[in-house]
Amino acid sequence: MHRRFKQPAGTSIRLYALGAIFLVPLSIGVLLVTSNASQNDNAYQISHDVASMYAQGLNFSQRPNQNIALSVADAKGIDVRGGKGVLILSKIRVVHASDCPSPAGKCGNKGYAVVTERYVLGNQALRASSFGTPATLDQTSGEVRDWANDPSARAADFPANLKPGEITYAAECYLTSPESGSGVYSRTMF
């Protein structure tokens, strides 16, 4: 015959409460990480697709082409137009001697990588470009005025190893993440 030990009343409830102290925060953490990972995948896919279009020659100074880029985000369920994200497109090149007016001419950015074109779609207050912000940007054409001389046109943290005439097309995507109160960032270059 087996004897059963009688537990004091309320012991089971205390054990469940003790387990819940660890399980509830763990469950919330798993949900937040999963949500941010999904948002990170969306940011990468959007930046990749838009950079590919940009590198293939799509002119983003035209409103219909900007709408195409925004529809890429819409397809992922992200409302960039509604302020939930920002797309930053940059054309980057290195200033070589052939870009300078003459041997005696002014060419303050010679040897530096510079942003020659920039488009910002969505809520630009969310995040600035990692490459810097040119001060002399023509808002209608997206062209950076006097990129060969303007120090603000220099692309930050960009290697200056492009050959004369070579161009890099970059798309940066920042999406807000309501669950964590911050956001996710991705960039793609072609």
**Domains identified in the chain, total number:** 1
For residue 69 the two structure tokens come to 């880029």
Neighbours of 118 (CB within 10 A): 24
Put simply, whether the predicted model's pTM sits higher than 0.75 gets the answer yes
Structural domain contains residue 3 = no
Does any domain span residue 109?
yes
- Amino acid identity, position 15: L
Tell whether 67 is covered by a domain: yes
Phi, psi at 181, each rounded to 5°: 80, 5
Query: Does any domain span residue 161?
Result: yes
Query: What is the residue range of 97's domain?
Result: 25-189
pLDDT tens for the 190 residues of the chain, in order: 566 666 665 677 777 777 778 777 776 666 655 555 677 888 999 999 999 999 999 999 999 999 999 999 888 888 888 888 999 999 999 999 888 877 666 789 999 999 999 999 999 999 999 999 999 999 889 999 999 999 999 999 898 889 998 999 999 999 987 665 688 899 999 9
Please report, to the nearest 10 degrees, the dihedral formed by the alpha carbons of residues 48, 52, 58, 59 taken in order. Answer: 50
pLDDT value of residue 21: 80
Compute CA distances 18 → 11, 22, 23, 25, 27, whole Å: 11, 7, 9, 12, 15
- Identify whether 95 is part of a domain: yes
Residue 19's pLDDT is 76
* Residue at 162 is within a domain: yes
Residue at 6 is within a domain: no
Tell me if 182 is assigned to some domain. yes
